[in-house]
Chain A
Amino acid sequence: MIGFSRKTKVTTGASLPVIVGIVVACVFLVVGSVRSDIFAQQTVAGLSQGAIYASLALALVLIYRATEVINFAQGEMAMATTFIAYQFTLWHITFWLAFFLTLVVAFVFGAVVYAVLIRPVQHRSVIALVIITVGLFILIDGLVTWKWGADLKFMQAPFGNHVYRGGGVAFSRQDIGVLAVSILSVILLWVLFQFTKLGLAMRAAALRPAAAALVGVRVDVMLAIGWGLAAVLGAVAGIMTEASQFLQPTMMQPILLYAFAAAVLGGLESPAGAVVGGLAIGVFLNLTGQYVGFATSEVRLPIAFAVLLVVLLFKPTGLFGRKQVRRV
């Protein structure tokens, strides 16, 4: 290797037009928020919902990068862990303690799902993997409904229903809280991946499993940890969803679709893209809901589907994805 050096450039994968587009969108949101109170309120509420989509989308992307599996059960896993948090609060554990206990349970849950269900079939066809996660979807759905029932449940609201007023604008404390918790967990995860040895090993196991194994990384363990962390992010998304609505077994199904749309918009393999995509979808859905007469609440899901379809048709690599060249 003497005299041969490869330059490696670290980029997010976003091209210049994409960055310009994101900047323009941010300027548009800020200007709109300054000029109109309702616009500002809808933007903040959209960011808050978008942060939930972003967490779940990031969970999907983590798993896709590590094991090339689209986990259709991600939403249901998040829902199940939220029910576990609910069970903790029934035992008179305070909300935040229950929250952190649930994250631990979620981590173990995710790692076990990988070890028991995914690892044996990991090298089979895409169809087999999809069907396994679909089976898991139904299994979890059944277990939760069996244990807790399908009726609505109520949990103590973690952020209260206080509303902050600034000028004519009202922000609910809940929206701010959900946004803060989701973004904080995303940042913590980024720090873990970027600045710790464990994170390095995990990235190596995901990107170059054979090479990582050769330098002593235990690839299986790393992938299991990856699944565990994804489940933790899902649990955050689930509990934060619960904070803004009721708890029921179907609560994450629409959110899973928004998360899919977010992940695809960001380019299925890009963690940064998933976060940007999630926030963008949340804001976009709320603003169209406010200002476009046709976009009533019934068509939120079809709009997300339309976004997903348009991205897949015209820019399949998403905003941040890299083009992959396939050899014939």
Chain B
Amino acid sequence: MKTRLVIIGVVAAIIAVLGATMTDYHDGLGARVGIYFVAILGLNILIGYTGQISIGHGAFMAIGGYTTAIMSYYHHTNLIATLPLAFLTAFVCGVLVGIPALRFHGVYLALATFAFAVSVPQLPLKWSKWTGGSNGLRTHTTPSNTWLYGVSWSCAAILFVVAWALLRGRTGRAFRSIRDSEIAAASSGVSLPIYKTLAFGVSAAFAGVAGSLLVLVTNGFAQPNEFGVILSLQILIGAAVAGLGSLWGTLVGALFVGLLPELSSSAPLIGSSHGQDVVFGLIVVLVMILLPNGFAGLLRTIDSRVNSAIKSDTTTS
């Protein structure tokens, strides 16, 4: 417990120092990592802790992003104030999606959420008078990259604590029991409808905050293209690479999704702007085949191997 707190403190300090010392461009990049961190954290609550799959979280990000853009464009709301609004809007939408999702299992839930992810970005095109159509809406001001870095990592820190508090107690136990066996959970008095929709709502709310931050980091533009199906897939992949059901892996997943495009576009051989998807897809497929529990699983295995090695050393000596 104590070592964990120390690690959290060190990671937070590194993130803070990096933000203060890095160039403007890298701050923008770092802000993106923070945004993916929030989104993957939310998705991990849903998939990793309650065992409900969603390929539709890009849609919740779109909902959050458009909340921010609309409030800012039409009402000149303070950008920070739009974040809790995005959280609430996405939470409500998440609960609304979560209610029909109660009846779906496994592949059917995957299909329905995928369809949701493909459909939602079409809606701003339909009501283009109000949402700017494919050109999108722009917030009334655009913040600097350093500001964004600070805000997105502050959000990440706050939401990490929220997630940790939620998952460590009664609710977390209920979530995990649903993941392991719905029937056993229901028989021991866990209300499936309440906890499953709650998980959907919270998870969507996190995605909503990430979405509104994403709008801010793309020069304040909310555009349908930005929230296409690929975004949903990237977050899902980030969560899988990180290791489902691990809050710690989330940081790795966020670094992977946020930095890989940048790293691979400057790498030799694949150094075109499209090479990133090749590397991205390849790594995902390899990780899924070779590391069934993602990066966090790898760490856990190494940890237990080292521990057992130490133990056997002490017993033999």
- Nearest B residue (CB) for A73: B281
Number of A-B contacts (CB under 8 A): 146
Does A308 lie within 8 Å of B278, measured CB to CB? Answer: no
- Nearest B residue (CB) for A314: B103
Known contacts A124-B292, A150-B274: A312-B233 contact under CB 8 Å = no
- Proximity string of chain B (201-242) to chain A, C-beta cutoff 8 Å, 1 when within and 0 when not: 000000000000000000000000000011001101100100
Q: Which of B111, B126, B234, B285 contacts A117 (CB 8 A)?
A: B285
Min distance, Cβ A257 to any Cβ of chain B, angstroms? 5
- Is chain A's interface secondary structure helix, strand, loop, or mixed overall? helix
Does B272 lie within 8 Å of A302, measured CB to CB? Answer: no
Min distance, Cβ B167 to any Cβ of chain A, angstroms? 18
User: What residues of chain A lie closer than 8 Å to B292, measured between beta carbons?
Assistant: 121, 124, 128
User: What residues of chain A lie closer than 8 Å to B103, measured between beta carbons?
Assistant: 312-313, 316
A301 to B275 CA separation, bound complex (whole angstroms) = 29
Instruction: Tell me which of A64, A128, A134, A264 has the highest count of chain B C-beta atoms within 10 A of its own C-beta.
Output: A134
Min distance, Cβ A245 to any Cβ of chain B, angstroms? 17
Interface status of B49 (Cβ within 8 A of chain A): no
Known contacts A131-B237, A134-B55, A134-B233: A139-B111 contact under CB 8 Å = no
Q: Which of A70, A132, A305 contacts B285 (CB 8 A)?
A: A132
A305 to B240 CA separation, bound complex (whole angstroms) = 25
Min distance, Cβ B238 to any Cβ of chain A, angstroms? 11
Min distance, Cβ B24 to any Cβ of chain A, angstroms? 29
Does A253 lie within 8 Å of B53, measured CB to CB? Answer: no
A301 to B108 CA separation, bound complex (whole angstroms) = 18
Q: Which of B51, B107, B112, B118 contacts A253 (CB 8 A)?
A: B118
- Nearest B residue (CB) for A69: B107
Q: Which of B100, B122, B281 contacts A301 (CB 8 A)?
A: B122
Min distance, Cβ B117 to any Cβ of chain A, angstroms? 9
A254 to B122 CA separation, bound complex (whole angstroms) = 11
Interface status of A136 (Cβ within 8 A of chain B): yes
Interface status of A309 (Cβ within 8 A of chain B): yes
Min distance, Cβ B207 to any Cβ of chain A, angstroms? 17
Q: Which of A130, A301, A313 contacts B119 (CB 8 A)?
A: A301
- Nearest B residue (CB) for A120: B289
Does B108 lie within 8 Å of A257, measured CB to CB? Answer: no
- Nearest A residue (CB) for B128: A298
Q: Which of B183, B230, B272, B284 contacts A146 (CB 8 A)?
A: B272
Interface status of B115 (Cβ within 8 A of chain A): yes
User: What residues of chain A lie closer than 8 Å to B255, measured between beta carbons?
Assistant: none
Does A261 lie within 8 Å of B277, measured CB to CB? Answer: no
Does B104 lie within 8 Å of A72, measured CB to CB? Answer: no
Does B277 lie within 8 Å of A70, measured CB to CB? Answer: no
Known contacts A134-B55, A260-B114: A312-B108 contact under CB 8 Å = yes
User: What residues of chain B lie closer than 8 Å to A268, measured between beta carbons?
Assistant: 107-108
Does B237 lie within 8 Å of A142, measured CB to CB? Answer: no
User: What residues of chain A lie closer than 8 Å to B285, measured between beta carbons?
Assistant: 117, 132, 135-136, 139
- Is chain B's interface secondary structure helix, strand, loop, or mixed overall? helix
A68 to B119 CA separation, bound complex (whole angstroms) = 25
Interface status of A210 (Cβ within 8 A of chain B): no
Interface status of A97 (Cβ within 8 A of chain B): no
- Proximity string of chain A (51-74) to chain B, C-beta cutoff 8 Å, 1 when within and 0 when not: 000000000000010001010100
Does B274 lie within 8 Å of A145, measured CB to CB? Answer: yes
Does A298 lie within 8 Å of B237, measured CB to CB? Answer: no
- Proximity string of chain B (271-309) to chain A, C-beta cutoff 8 Å, 1 when within and 0 when not: 010111111111011001100100000000000000000
A263 to B195 CA separation, bound complex (whole angstroms) = 30
Q: Which of A138, A302, A309 contacts B277 (CB 8 A)?
A: A138
A257 to B240 CA separation, bound complex (whole angstroms) = 23
Min distance, Cβ A164 to any Cβ of chain B, angstroms? 33
User: What residues of chain B lie closer than 8 Å to A260, measured between beta carbons?
Assistant: 111, 114-115
Does A296 lie within 8 Å of B277, measured CB to CB? Answer: no
Does B278 lie within 8 Å of A117, measured CB to CB? Answer: no
Interface status of B18 (Cβ within 8 A of chain A): no
- Proximity string of chain A (141-158) to chain B, C-beta cutoff 8 Å, 1 when within and 0 when not: 111011001100000000
Known contacts A138-B233, A139-B278, A301-B122: A312-B104 contact under CB 8 Å = yes
Does B284 lie within 8 Å of A70, measured CB to CB? Answer: no
Does B122 lie within 8 Å of A302, measured CB to CB? Answer: yes
User: What residues of chain B lie closer than 8 Å to A257, measured between beta carbons?
Assistant: 114-115, 118-119
Given contacts A139-B277, A264-B111, A309-B115, 6 further A-B contacts (CB under 8 A): A72-B110, A130-B55, A141-B277, A142-B280, A302-B123, A305-B118
5 contacts between A and B (CB under 8 A): A124-B292, A132-B289, A257-B118, A298-B126, A309-B100
List A residues at the B interface (Cβ < 8 Å): 64, 68, 70, 72, 117, 120-121, 124, 126-128, 130-132, 134-143, 145-146, 149-150, 253-254, 257, 260-261, 264, 268, 296, 298-299, 301-302, 304-305, 308-309, 312-313, 316, 328
List B residues at the A interface (Cβ < 8 Å): 47, 51, 53, 55, 100, 103-104, 106-108, 110-112, 114-116, 118-119, 122-123, 125-126, 183, 229-230, 233-234, 236-237, 240, 244, 270, 272, 274-282, 284-285, 288-289, 292
What are the 10 A-B residue pairs with the smallest beta carbon separation, nearest first? A142-B277, A139-B281, A135-B284, A142-B278, A138-B281, A305-B119, A145-B274, A305-B115, A298-B125, A302-B119
